Structure 1
């Protein structure tokens, strides 16, 4: 039986002879156009396959594979093909790999529901009998997580009904294969890593891919650690390729181009939609992807019916994200936005904030952890305590007390020495903890001086001893932190820093040393000022952060006046190196 639609039998025969002959393909000629698929009923598929396996006739097999691969297939064509191929499941071993792969490359998700159901059944039966084809099949399933070249970006990140239908059908097959073929778990993870879009691919490619990765977690929560590790690693690549300076420059360039242009009435709506996007292409991709991950964290931590926080689910999510944070985010220097996933999780409940701060402080206090990780942990503590509106005053004071006790213990161990090497490489953690404490006090001073009781608490930290100790932490801390801290401590008579600052400014001597590779390094012995929760400037995902975020409030220092105007955004020295406030 031939499946013919829209042409007579004779016209189809001539088309097949003209465009699908094996000889033309073997000679490298280009095929002008796809042809209609006609099942070779004069020679049943089973008979063709059997003769090829027995090495009697190979030409019919090659013709069949080429027809499946190159013909234009309609619903009835695929149903006929699958009906006959299903009767030959037992034959479809490694010898018939090309025939199987020709079927597996068919874009089955674009056909009718009846064809999709038959294809799913064939695929499951095939891999149950011959798991040799599992890798290729899994790769083809995962390739459906990527959009077509002309597929538009989703509006507000919400998938279309057609995309949802396609995703449901693909995930149904993946879930079934994971149940019946144990080896598919490793194959799936390998394929997910292999097919992840390159950073310069379209935003929709990343959006659709992450959407499907998170969808897998709905029915396979045991994949969460691996999939979150993959997502975080790829988001970090986007983040480091979209520095804040470049994002800001892109925004400014667009604004300058639009100056003096009067949009038509018809363009107002589209202009408004464009204004909600980050102009930097990679930053826009990061924004859309982070919004997906933020939404996943919110949905996963709350009950769908009540909208209330589900504590058990939230704890499990926090533990999974913390593992990935430790492996991916903490060792990565100077990223700008991905780490706000932890900021969002901490905003859900004070208990999570406390647990995260304790986790970081434990790293700071562990001597066998590399210095760079200990220093990064302490700046995370400082930045979270300063920026998180959800951090209560009691926790803020507890953090400061913990830091002060550690600092004084360290000072005691050094005071007994005859001479002190104040090299930042030797005492880097000490200087890092001092800078964190100074930063928190300078940033949150309004909350710490609003009552006499809180001022007494600050006095109990013995800040004067810190700044006058032989290690001289004011020399090693970032100048903006030092200036703001000095202004607060002078106003409330907690410590007098200006004479030390002036002395340090007159005694600036760089350190010259040779690193492990033999290179000559000149260091000014000043800590960097990377604070991971400096302002979040992405637009779409930023709506999840803004309600929980504190911006720096400026202050004046004339005649002990401490009240200043609140500004909407922080004043930066330079993106990525600013502590979030300016020189006083």
Structure 2
């Protein structure tokens, strides 16, 4: 175990710093010696723990070390996603019922825990560095399920980081950064992150939600006007991908935050000022490419409050899909879907909001439900097969934007 002692690693790092005028060699060694992500929970957790200690001794390398850690955790996250996709296609019902230990999820769970403790211990300097790392490393990555929750934690405990992150996501999604060719996927991902954080974070004030929802709707209306909606450009969804992503973010927020947005006459007037019927009925037809779960929830909410009637458009799109030979691919990735790692989840869950259906239901959220169950079964989940596998399997039939009730999570 001596090889993993953080004092030995720190001593080696300091000696290298003395011998070499630059940190390039040290960083090269840190990255090169990073354990294989399948090497096991203990080895990966210990290595990350030691790198965090190294950053305390050499603060000038803190951002580079965090970048190396986040890159490795993203690799773990991507592997979990790909493995789950593979299992959902290949496993038999008998195999799915077998209680196998999910080492990959367990490894990422404890690595997330170490980084969350790091952010809590060092606060402002480390939180600001995480914002930098998010913009460079996490934001361009599509499809991960867990690592991005470090950002939700960051904006929950630091108001300045929240202002910076939300404003930057808005700038990227709206194309105000001028990212150049190839930026469409990043803009779409930024819109998804922005909507997810505004919907999910308990620390985002309602005033900020109103501001960004208004900005997004205004941007969509300006886009419609600029493209002269009477043209035949509606069939080219790829060319208007940024517009579709922004509309989907608006639909997502209206559906997710409907309890707030329709709680009184003043808020209803605000929703009406967004002119949602124009977005729904425009020639660019954003509902056609909207993920079905979001479409259903948005249609249900707006119909109940007599703001928009989407059913005719939905049925027309369904007929068009049946007649078309091309297969329409929906982007059904929602960055802040329910967090399913049980150990680090005890820190994340209290900071997240659950989607509440239009009907009255159980006041217990999916996060408090998970926390309660895990606390009552503490001994079980430490020795039995990982509950993250059961948690993930309840979502594996189709990625949803979190439109689930608490009783569905542990099925």
Normalising by the smaller structure, the TM-score range is: 0.7 to 0.9
CA contact (8 A) 1:554 1:567 kept: no
Q: 1:569 aligns with which of 366, 370, 389?
A: 366
DSSP-derived class of the 1:528 partner? coil
Aligned equivalents of 1:221, 1:434: Cα separation in 2: 42
1:167 aligns with 2:6: yes
Cα distance change, pair 187–349 in 1 and its aligned pair in 2 (3 A): closer
How much has 1:204 moved relative to structure 2? 1.0
Aligned equivalents of 2:292, 2:12: Cα separation in 1: 59
Q: Which residue of 2 aligns with 1:528?
A: 331
Q: Which residue of 1 aligns with 2:309?
A: 496
Aligned equivalents of 1:500, 1:173: Cα separation in 2: 65
DSSP-derived class of the 2:340 partner? coil
DSSP-derived class of the 2:218 partner? helix
Aligned equivalents of 2:11, 2:35: Cα separation in 1: 23
Aligned equivalents of 1:371, 1:399: Cα separation in 2: 20
1:327 aligns with 2:136: yes
Q: Which residue of 2 aligns with 1:200?
A: 38
Aligned equivalents of 1:465, 1:337: Cα separation in 2: 35
How much has 1:468 moved relative to structure 2? 1.3
* More moved, 434-443 vs 484-493: 484-493
Q: Per-residue CA shift, 1:173-231, capped at 9, x if unaligned?
A: 532542x3234622211111111100111211111111110111111111012111111
Instruction: Output aligned runs, 1:250-261, within 5 Å.
Output: none
Q: 1:447 aligns with which of 253, 257, 260?
A: 260
How much has 1:543 moved relative to structure 2? 1.2
Q: Per-residue CA shift, 1:41-80, capped at 9, x if unaligned?
A: xxxxxxxxxxxxxxxxxxxxxxxxxxxxxxxxxxxxxxxx
Cα distance change, pair 175–413 in 1 and its aligned pair in 2 (3 A): same
* Residue-pair matches, total: 372
Q: Which residue of 1 aligns with 2:155?
A: 346
Q: 1:408 aligns with which of 209, 221, 227?
A: 221
Aligned equivalents of 1:549, 1:253: Cα separation in 2: 34
How much has 1:464 moved relative to structure 2? 1.2
Q: Which residue of 1 aligns with 2:68?
A: 230
CA contact (8 A) 2:220 2:243 kept: yes
Q: Per-residue CA shift, 1:337-388, capped at 9, x if unaligned?
A: 0111111101103332222111011111225441000000000011111111
* More moved, 347-356 vs 375-384: 347-356
Cα distance change, pair 569–279 in 1 and its aligned pair in 2 (3 A): farther
- Give the gaps of 5 or more residues in structure 2: 368-390, 406-411
CA contact (8 A) 1:573 1:582 kept: no
- Give the gaps of 5 or more residues in structure 1: 1-108, 111-143, 146-165, 259-277, 302-313, 513-521, 557-562
Q: Which has the higher Rg, Structure 1 or Structure 2?
A: 1
Query: Runs of 4+ in structure 1 displaced over 4 angstroms?
Result: 247-250, 252-258, 509-512, 570-573
1:297 aligns with 2:119: yes
Aligned equivalents of 2:127, 2:323: Cα separation in 1: 43
CA contact (8 A) 1:553 1:567 kept: no
Q: Which residue of 1 aligns with 2:185?
A: 372
CA contact (8 A) 1:291 1:540 kept: yes
* More moved, 186-195 vs 319-328: 319-328
Aligned equivalents of 1:368, 1:207: Cα separation in 2: 36
Aligned equivalents of 1:510, 1:218: Cα separation in 2: 61
Aligned equivalents of 1:184, 1:325: Cα separation in 2: 25
Aligned-residue RMSD, C-alpha: 2.9
DSSP-derived class of the 2:117 partner? helix
Per residue, is there more helix in 1 or in 2?
2
Aligned equivalents of 2:164, 2:209: Cα separation in 1: 14
Aligned equivalents of 1:368, 1:218: Cα separation in 2: 34
1:243 aligns with 2:81: yes
DSSP-derived class of the 2:233 partner? coil
Cα distance change, pair 254–510 in 1 and its aligned pair in 2 (3 A): closer
CA contact (8 A) 2:48 2:111 kept: yes
Q: Which residue of 1 aligns with 2:212?
A: 399
What's the TM-score, normalizing by structure 1? 0.59
Q: Which residue of 1 aligns with 2:27?
A: 189
Aligned equivalents of 2:221, 2:163: Cα separation in 1: 23
Q: Per-residue CA shift, 1:455-506, capped at 9, x if unaligned?
A: 1111111111111111121112111111111111111111111122122222
Aligned equivalents of 1:255, 1:416: Cα separation in 2: 49
Q: Which residue of 2 aligns with 1:545?
A: 348
